Structure formats: structure tokens, C-alpha cells
């Protein structure tokens, strides 16, 4: 989907406002092919990651610069990048340190500082005179509120993901393997422009209960009628925005323990619809949503949810003590990983919401229920 010049100008404008607020001279954004971390580059430059990594530099004053490693000169369609000044450097970190010194930058924010920046570039960049500031959290918040142009792009990914879920359900049949059941959805996603931006996992187990560890779908063992399958279907569609989705699938029904957790899960999503409103804090939402599981011997396997955009897992996280105030048109994925106290069982569903003044607007049309395959 083509991004308008007005939207590009908006992105640069809100980013520069944040940089000026925080006393920074420029922002260096790191993107990498590590799934889920390539999108910040696309948001700021239009470049779609194929392999290796890349940088986009946005000064407070001056034109942006795209920086690529020289060994990746022919990796990716560089004409898609709307930044005119493109540099291919032997060691991008050294080149960026030099430009920072030449421009007289004192403080530079780096996005990807904690997870994505290659060590060789980190070493070269931090060896210079410029003060490097971790800007991971702040740049996530810059992107968190979606524009009117972005919202249809977000919805397009969720529509594609929802169709993928029905492909999984159409393929679901005891006797097939977990991988065979997932395969038609992967074929559908790639045929419809996801390229390699899919990260689909499964939680599964016998007797209507799933183990707590995420796994690659098994290509060998046939699924039994009483197996519980929790496919975590995570894709970025052609627009580049990530979408996450999960519902339980089993032919023979849930175990008694899983059924009790499922009742609480339905309540937790009802709470998400009311608590995900502009003005609430991420902590408020967590306390409301995960409070649905109080009285059960369970714990959180990871955060209750998070902002999601061209980066799969972004700030604000929905968790205890996160006091970030939610704003209208933030997109929040809610997915409590509910693990039993003995670490043996879990239940997991994902649903994504748009924050509105009155509550969370569900982006999918799929009901919060257990599926047995007859629904197809």
C-alpha cells in the first residue's frame, strides 16, 4: 500500500517533536530481518527488509539518510525507500559516528539499541564523541497512535489474518499433523503478500489441555481428537502492519481445568472491551483484564498484551506498573498466556483492539469460543 506524502510528513513531524522534547539532535532507527523487528525501518523510510539489516537517520534539522551495509547492496528493492540520500557503508556504525561528529550532534537517540543493532555497529557508534541514548520506548510511543491513513492498513492485515484462521479450521482434522493443518494458511498468506513476515506457532497437548511452551507445528505426529491446538497466527500483511490471532481448536472438548480457564478468558475479553479506553493506563487495563483469572491457580506466562504496529511487540506493554496513558487509535493486542501454578498446562487466545474514548473495538469478527471444526 502506497504511503502518501502527507503521511510521510506527519511521521517525520511527530518524530521530530519527540526528539526536540527529549533534547536529541537526531534519531537512528535500526531494522533487522529478525522477524518482528523490520517494521520501524519501513515506517520511517518505506524500505522493506529482505535480508541483513538497515538504518534510517532522521535529524531534527536536515534531510533524512538511509544507511545500508555495503555487502547488502543488491539485497532489497532500494527504490522503494522514499529517502533520497542512500549510503552503502562498509561499517555503518563507523559511518554514522563520523556523520554525527561532522554535523556536530551531541545526543542521538537509537531505536533498536537493546535488541536489533549489530554488535560491530554498536561498538563503532559508541566509540565516538556523540552521546547515544536508548530510544526504544520513546519511538514506539511515537508510532503508537495510528493516523486515519494507517487505520485501514492495520485492518487489512487483521482481515487477512482472520481468513487465515478459517483456512486452519478448514484443514483441521484428527489424523493430520499440526504442520499439515497450518500449511494451507501459510500458503494463503504468502500468496496474498506476506512474503516472509509470518511467525506462526502452536501450543498443544492431549486430553483437552495444552502445554505452556510455544512450539513449531509438529510435522510428524498425527493430531488426536482430544488434542487441544492453540495456533498463534501472527503475520504482517502487504501493508506491513502485524496482526496476531488465536482461538482454541479441539474435537473432543476442553479438559475441566481448561474449561474453567476458558470461562475466565471470555470474561477477560469483555473487560478489555470496557477498559481499553482513552485516558486509562496500561496498568489499569492489565489489572482489569488479568483480574478475570483471580481465584484460579494460574499466573501470567508473559505480558497481558502490548501495542502492535509494523513492529510486532511494541510499547506500551499492558502489564503491572506500566503507567503509560492510552490514547485513541492505539492498537493493542490482548493475549494473556495463562499458565497453571504447576507449570503443566495453559490456555492462550489473542484478540486485538482499537482504543476508543469508550472502550476497546475488536478488530476481528470471530467469536471468543472453542472451535471443533464443524464451524467451517
Q: What angle do CA 258, 261, 265 make, to 5 degrees?
A: 130
In the chain, where the domains are located: 5-144, 150-362
DSSP for 37-48, please give it.
SSHHHHHHH-PP
Q: CA-CA distance, 75 to 101, in Å (whole number)?
A: 29
| Percentage of residues in the chain having pLDDT higher than 70 | 100
Longest dimension (CA), the chain: 67
Asked if the model's pLDDT at residue 116 lies above 80, the reply is yes
* pLDDT tens sequence across 121-149: 999 999 988 899 999 999 999 999 999 99
pTM, 2 dp: 0.92
Looking at domain 5-144, does it have CATH number 3.40.350.10?
yes
CATH architecture under which domain 150-362 falls:
Alpha-Beta Complex (3.90)
Main-chain phi, psi angles of 28, to 5 degrees: -105, 120
3-class DSSP state of 56? strand
pLDDT digits (tens, 9 = 90+) for 288-321: 999 999 999 999 888 899 999 999 999 999 999 9
Q: Write the CB contacts of 74 (distance below 8 Å, at least 6 apart in sequence).
A: none
d(CA 259, CA 345): 12
The closest of 236, 64, 82 to 164, measured between CA atoms, is 236
Task: List pLDDT tens digits, range 229-268.
Answer: 999 999 999 999 999 999 999 999 999 999 999 999 999 9
Amino acid at each position: 500500500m502506497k504511503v502518501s506524502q502527507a503521511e510521510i510528513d506527519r511521521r517525520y513531524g511527530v518524530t521530530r517533536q519527540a526528539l526536540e522534547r527529549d533534547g536529541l539532535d537526531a534519531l537512528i532507527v535500526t531494522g533487522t530481518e529478525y522477524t518482528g523487528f523490520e517494521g520501524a525501518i519501513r515506517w520511517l523510510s518505506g524500505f522493506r527488509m529482505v535480508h541483513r539489516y538497515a538504518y534510517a537517520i532522521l535529524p531534527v534539522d536536515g534531510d533524512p539518510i538511509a544507511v545500508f551495509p555495503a555487502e547488502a547492496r543488491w539485497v532489497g528493492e532500494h527504490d522503494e525507500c522514499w529517502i533520497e540520500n542512500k549510503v552503502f557503508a562498509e561499517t555503518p556504525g563507523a559511518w554514522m559516528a563520523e556523520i554525527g561528529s561532522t554535523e556536530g550532534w551531541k545526543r542521538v537517540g537509537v531505536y533498536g539499541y537493546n535488541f536489533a543493532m549489530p554488535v560491530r555497529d554498536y561498538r563503532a557508534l559508541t566509540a565516538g564523541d556523540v552521546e547515544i541514548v536508548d530510544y526504544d520506548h520513546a519511538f514506539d510511543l511515537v508510532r503508537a497512535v495510528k493516523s486515519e491513513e494507517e487505520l485501514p492498513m492495520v485492518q487489512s492485515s487483521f482481515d487477512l489474518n482472520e481468513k487465515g484462521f478459517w483456512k486452519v479450521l478448514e484443514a483441521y482434522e484428527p489424523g493430520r499433523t499440526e504442520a499439515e493443518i497450518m500449511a494451507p494458511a501459510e500458503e494463503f498468506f504468502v500468496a496474498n503478500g506476506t512474503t516472509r513476515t509470518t511467525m506462526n506457532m502452536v501450543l498443544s497437548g492431549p486430553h483437552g489441555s495444552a502445554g505452556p511452551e510455544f512450539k513449531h507445528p509438529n510435522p510428524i505426529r498425527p493430531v488426536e481428537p482430544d488434542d487441544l491446538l492453540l495456533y498463534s497466527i501472527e503475520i504482517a500483511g502487504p501493508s506491513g502492519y502485524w496482526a496476531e490471532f488465536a482461538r482454541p481448536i479441539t474435537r473432543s472438548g476442553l479438559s475441566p481445568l481448561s474449561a474453567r480457564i476458558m470461562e475466565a478468558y471470555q470474561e477477560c475479553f469483555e473487560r478489555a472491551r470496557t477498559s481499553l479506553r482513552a485516558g486509562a493506563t496500561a496498568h489499569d487495563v492489565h489489572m482489569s483484564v488479568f483480574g478475570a483469572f483471580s481465584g484460579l491457580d494460574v499466573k501470567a506466562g508473559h505480558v497481558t498484551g502490548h501495542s502492535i504496529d509494523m513492529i510486532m511487540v511494541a510499547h506500551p506493554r499492558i502489564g503491572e506498573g506500566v503507567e503509560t496513558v492510552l490514547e485513541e487509535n492505539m492498537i493493542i493486542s490482548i493475549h494473556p498466556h495463562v499458565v497453571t501454578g504447576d507449570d503443566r498446562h495453559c490456555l492462550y487466545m489473542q484478540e486485538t483492539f482499537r482504543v476508543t474514548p469508550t472502550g476497546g473495538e475488536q478488530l476481528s469478527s470471530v467469536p471468543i469460543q472453542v472451535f471443533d471444526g464443524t464451524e467451517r
